Amino acid sequence: MIGALANTPDLHAAARDAMREALARMDAGRPVLVVSHFDADGLAAAAVLVRALAAAGRRVEPLVLGKGETPWDAAVTERLRERAPGGVILADLGTRADPVLPGCATLVIDHHVPTGTPEGAITLSGNGLSPEPTTALLAWWAAGALGDVGDLLWLAAIGLIGDMEEGRAFPELMQAQARWGKTALREAVVLVNAPGARPPPTPGRRCVCCCGRTGPRRSPRAPTRTPWRCTPPAPRCARRWRRPNASPRRCAATWR
């Protein structure tokens, strides 16, 4: 095991300490950039971190990476640098030795097999723990340093359910299931991981269907019904198609 959770009797306290130390290293005058994977665990971790940091009065911005992107890609690194963050939190994106933004305070929260120990960063790795906490749960433990995060526990559960193999029992999951309902949490994970889900657009990408170039598009599931229309009418792509009296659905269009 590597990082702040290795050889500690109290994982929760160690995670909170790591968050405190990471924030102390960051420039509080500039936003914390929370960079995350786009799956249920990564999104839930980002949501926990952004909400908890904002509630604690920190400036914070999320950045969800697209499919196939890593923070170590030159193009992604450039996007991170352009944001001029006061610090970076990498959530569920893997654990590597190379710093993403050298000189910028970094907290790595992850549970994948590390390929190295992050240089100059504080690391919360769940890899090697049994049971293995997912990134959203690690983030929730760490966010405890910022105040009461009890109301965000459902997000940790989303990450656990999204990534978890059968039989891994965390008390946090059972608490969340008792409070919000097993079915509701499972359905939320299914929605987040819906087959039509696409990573969010990166700057410069446009959604073909929502930009008016190809006009309204028929639902692939109901090709004979009224065409789906994009609401709001395409000043910015909202990634969702709506029709009257229907719940929002994910846009199945391609990004380019």
Instruction: Tell me which residues in 190-219 interact with Mn ion (CB under 5 A).
Output: none
The SS3 call for residue 161 is helix
The SS3 call for residue 229 is strand
One-letter identity of residue 147: G
Q: Which stretch binds Mn ion (CB under 5 A): 126-134, 137-145, 197-205, 208-216?
A: 126-134
C-beta closer to Mn ion: residue 16 or 111: 111
Measured from each CB, the residue nearest to Mn ion is 41
Instruction: Tell me which residues in 72-101 interact with Mn ion (CB under 5 A).
Output: 92
What is the Cα–Cα distance from 172 to 126, expressed in whole angstroms? 15
C-beta closer to Mn ion: residue 167 or 233: 167
Q: Is residue 41 a contact residue for Mn ion (CB under 5 A)?
A: yes
Hunting for tokens 């990564």 — which residue is that? 42
Residues 163-182: x where in contact with Mn ion by CB under 5 A, - otherwise, as a string: x-------------------
Q: Which stretch binds Mn ion (CB under 5 A): 39-47, 166-174, 175-183, 238-246?
A: 39-47
Parallel, antiparallel, or unpaired: how do β-strands 32-36 and 60-64 relate? parallel
What is the Cα–Cα distance from 130 to 3, expressed in whole angstroms? 15
Among 36, 123, 125, 135, interactor with Mn ion by CB under 5 A: 135
What is the Cα–Cα distance from 54 to 60, expressed in whole angstroms? 6
146 burial class (0-12, 13-18, 19+ CB within 10 angstroms)?
buried
Residues 6-35: x where in contact with Mn ion by CB under 5 A, - otherwise, as a string: ------------------------------
Is 87 within 8 Å of 58 (Cβ atoms)? no
C-beta closer to Mn ion: residue 163 or 172: 163
Q: Is residue 69 a contact residue for Mn ion (CB under 5 A)?
A: no
C-beta closer to Mn ion: residue 44 or 88: 44
The SS3 call for residue 63 is strand
C-beta closer to Mn ion: residue 86 or 133: 133
ω into 232 cis (within 30 of 0)? yes
Question: Minimum distance between the CB of residue 90 and Mn ion, rounded to whole angstroms?
Answer: 12
**Among candidates 162, 232, 147, 236, which has minimal Cα distance to 197?**
162
Question: Minimum distance between the CB of residue 84 and Mn ion, rounded to whole angstroms?
Answer: 28
Helix (H) and strand (E) counts for the chain?
A: 7, 8
Q: Which stretch binds Mn ion (CB under 5 A): 9-17, 94-102, 130-138, 143-151?
A: 130-138
- Where do contacts with Mn ion occur on this chain (CB under 5 A)? 41, 92, 134-135, 163
